[in-house]
Amino acid sequence: MSLATATRASCLADESGQEAPYLLTPGPLTTSATTKAAMLRDWGSWDGDFNRLTAEIRERLLAMVGAPRDTYACVPLQGSGTFAVEAALATAIDRRGKALVLANGAYGQRAARILDVLGRAHVVHDKGDYLPPRGEEVAERLDADPEITDVFLVHCETSSGILNPLAEIAEVVKARGKGLIVDAMSSFGAVPLATETVPFDVMVSSANKCLEGVPGFGFVILRQDLLAASAGRAHSLSLDLLEQWCYMERTGQWRFTPPTHVVAAFHTALAEHRAEGGVAGRLARYTRNRDRLVTGMRELGFATLLEDRWLSPIITTFFSPGHPAFEFGRFYAELKARGFVIYPGKLTQAESFRIGCIGRLDESVIARLLDAVREALAAMGVDDCRPAA
């Protein structure tokens, strides 16, 4: 039985007997039946068995980035990924510091917005909807403004699907002795990120993206000396990473009520990640999904927003067909009726939509999606998928 059949067969049916559709979205995403089943038990937040789950998760996440246990810390935090980004920015950037935010989509813009709210000085290097920030440009910005203390980069900018050149930028930032904060939300677990090759100071991700858990918490992996130096910096009681870390180190517990079922599901999801061959195994499957998707959609006449070299194995943006009968709402509904949920586009300039390749699914699911796309287009009367000029 293929991975997809196994997942499909065990997908939870709703009251109407319909199977839930595949989520071709960048999280929440389709999770395995075993990950869902791990949520069928209640846990006490003070209980030793539950605390062991938390400890194992933190160990495993540090091991995934090859971070030495005594120089880096892993701090899980309740809430969606943005809560963890906000906590990380508040912890990493000194109140008298200044950040350079590299933006090429919604998540870079969101980081700048967070810094506005926090009242931390920052400048934005904005590349628009889909162009990558390059090492040279970052070097120029840093050399021109010595007040900048930290650089924020989104690894995979999920709003377009671009995989930004992290290694190139990390080199430039580190050569100038600045702090590097990476939003690896939608790449961590599938795109390699190791402290040895990318000397980041802080990285943020969450349970419900490439690690294939369910939503409910994020986590920050950061240098311990930086964490220690952040005492008194936090603007918020509940988003104070140092307090959360100290409490966890001392008691093994989360500081406030943990999302116990989500943590249990994530523990199972991490075991499955490991069984698949870790980051390399997951990258291989997602890459096959992406290649099948992009090839199939191009055969149907669709065009991708990005050139091949910038395509991530996470999510791909396609231009909407210029054909007058194409309408995204209808396309979405036709696909959903056939068992697939896709994502609207997030470009400011052109009409587009996005299809994710992450979650518990493989090429056979993508092949069936392509059949569904073909049927949906026929139902809508769209016979030409080229974008509007």
Ligand X SMILES: *Cc1c(COP(=O)(O)O)cnc(C)c1O
Note the residues at the interface with ligand X (CB under 6 A).
26-27, 80-82, 85, 107, 154, 158, 183, 185-186, 206
Which of 382, 361, 221, 364 minimizes the C-alpha distance to 292? 364
Two tokens, residue 227: 């964490």
* Annotated binding-site residue numbers for substrate: 354
Find where tokens 């991700």 sit: 205
Two tokens, residue 288: 């096959």
Q: What's the min distance (Å) between Cβ of 203 and ligand X?
A: 11
User: CB-wise, 77 or 369, nearer to ligand X?
Assistant: 77
Q: What's the min distance (Å) between Cβ of 65 and ligand X?
A: 17
Q: What's the min distance (Å) between Cβ of 157 and ligand X?
A: 6
User: CB-wise, 154 or 241, nearer to ligand X?
Assistant: 154
Q: Is the distance from CB of 138 to CB of 127 less than 8 angstroms?
A: no
Q: Is the distance from CB of 302 to CB of 344 less than 8 angstroms?
A: no
Buried b (16+ CB within 10 A) or exposed e, 137-149: ebbebbeeeeebb
Residue 187 contacts by C-beta under 8 Å, 6 or more apart in sequence?
155, 156, 163, 193, 205, 209, 210, 312, 314
User: CB-wise, 208 or 304, nearer to ligand X?
Assistant: 208
CA distance 305 to 284: 23
Q: What's the min distance (Å) between Cβ of 209 and ligand X?
A: 6
User: CB-wise, 206 or 244, nearer to ligand X?
Assistant: 206
Point out the residue whose Cβ comes nearest to ligand X.
81
User: CB-wise, 157 or 334, nearer to ligand X?
Assistant: 157
User: CB-wise, 32 or 82, nearer to ligand X?
Assistant: 82
Q: What's the min distance (Å) between Cβ of 185 and ligand X?
A: 4
* Signed CA dihedral, 274, 278, 281, 282: sign only: positive
Report the DSSP pairing between strands 343-344 and 98-103: unpaired
Q: What's the min distance (Å) between Cβ of 10 and ligand X?
A: 26
* Annotated binding-site residue numbers: 354
Two tokens, residue 370: 């392509």
In Å, how far are 125, 145, 238, 249 from 44, measured between CA atoms? 46, 50, 21, 18
